[in-house]
Amino acid sequence: MSLTEVRHDSEVPGREALETATADLEAPFAVVDLDAFDRNAADLLRRAGGTPIRLASKSVRCRALIERALRAGLQGILAFTLPEALWLAEHGHDDLVVAYPTADRSALRALAAGPHERVTIMVDCAEHLDLAVAAVREAGGGPIRVCLDVDAGWWPLRGRVRIGARRSPVRTPEQAAALARAVLARGELHLDGLMSYEAHIAGVGDRPPGRPLMGAAIRAMQRASARELAGRRAAVVAAVREVAPLRFVNGGGTGSVERTAAEAAVTEVAAGSGLYGPTLFDAYGAFRPQPAALFALPVVRRPDGRTATLLGGGYPASGAAGADRLPAPHLPPGLKLDGQEGAGEVQTPLRGPGAAGLRVGDRVWMRHAKAGELCERFDRLHLISAGAVVDTVPTYRGEGECFL
C-alpha cells in the first residue's frame, strides 16, 4: 500500500502548546497562529523590498485577517469575484482589484451605480468591455475602472510548447495597446491598471520533495520564463503607457515576490498564500512560510494497532488532482495518509509510527495544501497568540458568504 509523504515543520508551536491553547474546543476546528501569520506578513514585505504588496483575498477569506494583513503593511486587495469586492467595499475597503473577469451583469450594474471609484475589474477582450459598458448605460453612474490582464505564460520552441495558466489572450505589446485603445474609446470605462500573473513561477514550488530532477527542470523553466517575461512585460507596459497612464502594474504571487518586485515595470506584487503557509509552499527553496493555518480533527476509531482514524478531513485543494493537493498530517509527527483512502469525506485513516500512540478522543493537527480554501470548510477561525486563543473570528463562510 502506498502512503503519501509526511510533512513536518519544527518552527511552529509544538503539539503541547496547541493542545493547551485549545483545550476547551471540540474538534473539528480551525486555528490561525497569529504570531506565525505576522512573521509571514513581515517576511513577504521583506522579500518585496519596498514594492507594495496587494493582498490576494482568495488566499485568506476571513475579513479579520485581511484587515490584520493590511495593518501589517500590505496595500490594497486583489479580490476574486466582483460580488466579493462589492461586499468588501460595503465593509469600508477600497482599492479593490478583481483579479478574474466577470460576466455577472447585476454585479456590474451595482458597481456602476455604486462604488465604481473603489473597485477595478479585470478585462482581456471586447466582450468584457461590452458587458461593463452595458452596465453603465443601464444603471447609470460609472465610469467603471478596468485593468488589462496580460498573459504571462512561457511559449518556447516558437510557441509549440505553452507553459502557464490559460488566462488572457492578450500577450504582445501591440495586443495590449489595442485593448487599451478600445477601453479609451468607451466613455463608460476608465483604464486603471495592468496585471500579468505568472502562475507557473509564483505557484509552482521549485524544490518538490523527493523529486530532485523535477525540481531542477522547474528551476530551469522558471529562470527562462522569468527572463522572457521581464522583457515582454516591460515592452507591454511601455506600449500601454503610450496610450494612457496606468495607476498600477501588478504581477507575481507568494512564490515569486522578490523576482517580480525586481522588475522596474512592475509597481506592485500580489500575495496571500504566504500568510497562512499551506503545504504547497513548502516546496520552494528560497523561502519558507511558517504553517499558520491548521485544523484539528478528532481520532474517532482505531481499526487496528497501526491505524488511527480521524473524523472527516476530506478537504482537497483545487488544481490538477494529485497527492500534493491533499491535506497533510502535521502533529504529532510520524503520521501519513493511507494511500487507498486518502483524506475522506467522513473519515481519514492515518498510518505511520505516530499512529500507535493515538487514542480515541485525541486530536491530530492537519495542514491544508492551499490557503484560503480551508475557510470554505470552517465557519470560524480561532486565533492563537502566545499560547492562548485570543479571539474567534468568522470566515467568509461564517458570514454566510460563498463567492466561489
Ligand X SMILES: Cc1ncc(COP(=O)(O)O)c(C=O)c1O
Using the minimum distance from each CB to ligand X, give the nearer residue, 56 or 384: 56
C-beta closer to ligand X: residue 113 or 262? 262
List 197, 295, 365, 378, residue binding ligand X (CB under 6 A): 197
Determine which residue in the list 59, 81, 102, 222 makes contact with ligand X, applying CB under 6 A. 59
Cβ closest to ligand X, residue 144 vs residue 202: 202
Beta-carbon count within 10 A of 397 CB: 17
Taking the C-alpha atoms of residue 338 and residue 290, their distance in angstroms, rounded to an integer, is: 25
Among the residue ranges 105-113, 214-222, 259-267, 271-279, the one whose residues contact ligand X (CB under 6 A): 271-279
Residue 272 contacts ligand X per CB under 6 A:
yes
- 123 touches ligand X (CB under 6 A): no
Q: Which residue in the set 254, 279, 290, 309 belongs to the binding site for ligand X (CB under 6 A)?
A: 254
**Residue closest to 77 by CA, chosen among 250, 279, 208:** 250
Contacting residue, 32, 230, 271, 358, with ligand X by CB under 6 A:
271
The CB-of-68 to ligand X minimum distance in angstroms stands at: 16
Establish if 27 lies at the interface with ligand X (CB under 6 A). no
* 248 makes contact with ligand X (CB under 6 A): no
* Residue 181 CB coordination number (10 Å): 13
Question: Binding of ligand X at residue 225 (CB under 6 A)?
Answer: no
Closer Cβ to ligand X, 98 or 180, answer by number:
98
Q: How far is the CB of 48 from ligand X (least distance, A)?
A: 12
Q: Which residue is nearest to ligand X (CB)?
A: 253
Nearer CB in complex with ligand X: 59/309: 59
Using CB under 6 A as the binding rule, whether residue 293 contacts ligand X is answered as no
CB of 295 to ligand X, least distance (A): 18
- In the complex, what is the shortest distance from the CB of residue 161 to ligand X, in angstroms, rounded to a whole number? 22
Verify binding: residue 99, ligand X, rule CB under 6 A: yes
Q: How far is the CB of 186 from ligand X (least distance, A)?
A: 24
Q: Counting contacts by CB under 6 A, is residue 202 touching ligand X?
A: yes
- Assign 3-class secondary structure to the chain: CCECCCCCCCCCCCHHHHHHHCCCCCCCEEEEEHHHHHHHHHHHHHHHCCCCEEEEHHHCCCHHHHHHHHHHCCCCEEECCHHHHHHHHHCCCCCEEECCCCCCHHHHHHHHHCCCCCEEEEECCHHHHHHHHHHHHHHCCCCEEEEEECCCCECCHHHCCCECCCCCCCCCHHHHHHHHHHHHCCCCEEEEEEEECCHHHHCCCCCCCCCHHHHHHHHHHHHHHHHHHHHHHHHHHHHHHHHCCCCEEEECCHHHHHHHHCCCCCCEEEECHHHHCCHHHHHCCCCCCCCCEEEEEEEEEEEECCEEEEECCCCCCCCCCCHHHCCEEEECCCCEEECCCCCCCCEEEEECHHHCCCCCCCEEEEECCCCHHHHHCCCEEEEEECCEEEEEEECCHHHCCCCC
Instruction: Please report how close the Cβ of residue 90 comes to ligand X at its closest, in angstroms.
Output: 23
Among 107, 135, 337, 371, binds ligand X (CB under 6 A): 371
Nearer to ligand X, 45 or 271 (CB): 271
Residue type, position 174, single letter: E
Q: Does 55 contact ligand X by CB under 6 A?
A: no
Q: Of the two residues 271 and 374, which places its CB atom closer to ligand X in the complex?
A: 271
**Nearer to ligand X among residue 100 and residue 155 (C-beta):** 100
* Cα–Cα distance, 287 to 94 (Å, whole number): 30
- Our finding on whether 97 is near ligand X (CB under 6 A) is no
Residue selected from 76, 115, 253, 327 as contacting ligand X according to rule CB under 6 A: 253
Within a 10 A sphere around the Cβ of 250, how many other Cβ atoms? 23
> Does residue 82 belong to the site contacting ligand X (CB under 6 A)?
no
Q: Site residues (CB under 6 A) for ligand X?
A: 56, 59, 78, 99, 197, 202-203, 253-254, 270-274, 371
